[in-house]
């Protein structure tokens, strides 16, 4: 039974957390009761001031103990990756608060049995629920293709592709991800480890489970493209001849054939060799079978004064919002880890405000 309002704590205000904080302040179904920040320049400020909204009376704090002791229905937990991530997550769950989080471990997953067991135990202790969210994993590579499968009469293979042009959609992590390195060096030591697919495995397994199948193995490919000239981006420059593009491909095999393929194409503009012509930043789902289907998920056209009419990549704000919109259902769910398959069709409330 949906309550009139859900008392929510926003944990960290990075790109994802900022979108979530704004949502919780503005949405009438949620009542913001706490905000955790690490940045000393943000601590002590009103939550409204952090996102350019009127004052809320809720003051951002770095006091973890005070927030854990606070009474709240749910925490949107979106901190940076850190060694303390799991400890704090489990303490929040054990304190009786439901947690929705894009920060991983995303969902129960055979590759992360220890984390899964710890989260389950914390849920039992606090009589609380945990839901992993995000745009990918968490939406584009699981609930979206599962929903689209309703339009198919036979499925041969599902391809989910993330396409980001990091010149048009700059990200602070660009250098950290290996752009600008010697191509051979990055191929030998990819910054996104070949094992990263394990964090996405829950999404693949969820599709397979929804289709009544089981994944036998996942195979991994990685290729890079070279910058044909020096390429400037918001956070630096990559030199001609160094890595200007990366393509990861993970294939989940079912009954001896590929059933689910995830591609990630990250490119710095178009002066690249090879240039993988994937079009504008988006998530694309292609379902091969009968009838064949393609669905493109992309931000609305930027028609603002300084916009160029193209579509921005909204993966980070979407990661916050997909968590916010599920908060009531997670709070109302039975205790434990709740996946998309447990929640069924989510009914976001408070979005229509005339
Ligand atoms: N599943 C998905 O699709 C998906 C997509 C994107 C991101 N993510 C995950 O979502 C989380 C947030 O991403 P983001 O893009 O918002 O990151 P971000 O912009 O780097 O923000 C993370 C925030 O965490 C806080 N922080 C910094 N150092 C910390 C530490 N040592 N311990 C705890 N908190 C710390 C800071 O908050 P304050 O500024 O408030 O101090 C920082 O702004 C990450 O864990 C990321 O991996 C998941």
Task: Please tell me the predicted confidence (pLDDT) of residue 1.
Answer: 56
Token code pair at residue 62: 């770095």
Check if the beta carbon of residue 13 is closer than 8 Å to that of residue 37. Answer: yes
Is any ligand 1 atom within 6 A of the Cβ of residue 203?
no
Task: Please tell me the predicted confidence (pLDDT) of residue 49.
Answer: 98
Write out the chain's pLDDT in tens, 354 residues: 567 799 999 999 999 999 999 999 999 999 999 999 999 999 999 999 999 999 999 999 999 999 999 999 999 999 999 999 999 999 999 999 999 999 976 677 888 999 999 999 999 999 999 999 999 999 999 999 999 999 999 999 999 999 998 888 877 778 888 899 999 999 998 888 778 888 899 999 999 999 999 999 999 999 999 999 999 988 889 999 999 999 999 999 999 999 999 999 999 999 999 999 898 899 999 999 999 999 999 999 888 877 777 888 899 999 999 999 999 999 999 999 999 999 999 999 999 998
Of 15, 17, 171, the one to substitute when testing ligand 1's pocket (max ligand atoms within 8 A of C-beta) is 17
Check if the beta carbon of residue 42 is closer than 8 Å to that of residue 58. Answer: no
CA–CA separation, 201 and 137 (whole Å)? 9
| Model confidence, pTM | 0.95
Number of H helices and number of E strands within the chain? 11, 15
Is any ligand 1 atom within 6 A of the Cβ of residue 322?
no
Paired strand residues for 248: 222, 264
Cα 124 to averaged position of ligand 1 atoms, centre (Å): 26
How far is C-alpha 324 from the chain's CA centre? 12
Atom index in ligand 1 nearest the CA of residue 101 equals 10
Is any ligand 1 atom within 6 A of the Cβ of residue 172?
no
Task: Please tell me the predicted confidence (pLDDT) of residue 106.
Answer: 64
Strand pairing class (154-165; 231-233): unpaired
Is any ligand 1 atom within 6 A of the Cβ of residue 102?
yes
Cα 159 to averaged position of ligand 1 atoms, centre (Å): 28
Query: Cβ–Cβ contacts within 10 Å for residue 82, how many?
Result: 11
> CA torsion sign, 31 to 58 to 318 to 208?
negative
Task: Please tell me the predicted confidence (pLDDT) of residue 236.
Answer: 87
Domain architecture of the chain: domains with CATH = 6-133+326-343 (3.40.50.720), 143-315 (no CATH)
Is any ligand 1 atom within 6 A of the Cβ of residue 37?
yes
Is any ligand 1 atom within 6 A of the Cβ of residue 131?
no
């Amino acid at each position: 039974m949906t309550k009139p309002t859900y008392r929510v704590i926003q944990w960290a205000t990075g790109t994802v957390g900022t979108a979530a904080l704004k949502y919780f302040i503005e949405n009438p179904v949620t009542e913001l009761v706490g905000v955790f920040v690490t940045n000393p320049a943000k601590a002590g400020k009103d939550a409204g001031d952090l996102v350019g909204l009127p004052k809320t009376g809720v003051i951002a704090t770095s006091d973890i103990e005070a927030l854990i002791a606070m009474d709240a229905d749910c925490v949107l937990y979106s901190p940076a990756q850190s060694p303390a991530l799991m400890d704090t997550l489990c303490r929040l769950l054990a304190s009786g608060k439901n947690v929705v989080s894009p920060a991983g471990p995303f969902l129960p997953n055979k590759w992360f049995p220890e984390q899964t067991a710890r989260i389950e135990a914390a849920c039992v202790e606090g009589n609380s629920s945990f839901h992993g969210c995000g745009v990918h994993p968490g939406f584009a590579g699981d609930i979206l293709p599962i929903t689209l499968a309703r339009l198919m009469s036979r499925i041969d293979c599902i391809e989910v592709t993330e396409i980001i042009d990091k010149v048009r959609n700059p990200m602070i992590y660009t250098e950290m991800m290996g752009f600008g390195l010697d191509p051979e060096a990055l191929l030998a030591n990819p910054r996104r480890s070949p094992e990263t697919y394990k964090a996405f495995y829950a999404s693949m397994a969820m599709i397979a489970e929804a289709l009544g199948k089981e994944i036998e193995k996942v195979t991994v490919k990685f290729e890079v493209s070279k910058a044909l000239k020096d390429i400037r981006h918001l956070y630096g420059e990559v030199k001609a001849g160094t890595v200007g593009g990366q393509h990861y491909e993970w294939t989940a095999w079912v009954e001896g054939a590929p059933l689910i393929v995830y591609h990630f194409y990250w490119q710095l503009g178009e002066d690249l060799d090879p240039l993988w012509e994937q079009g504008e930043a988006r998530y694309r789902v292609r379902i091969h079978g009968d009838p064949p289907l393609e669905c493109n998920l992309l931000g609305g056209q930027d028609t603002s004064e300084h916009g160029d009419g193209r579509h921005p990549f909204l993966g980070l704000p979407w990661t916050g919002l997909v968590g916010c919109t599920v908060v009531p259902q997670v709070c109302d769910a039975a205790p434990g880890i709740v996946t998309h398959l447990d929640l069924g069709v989510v009914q976001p409330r408070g979005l229509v405000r005339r």
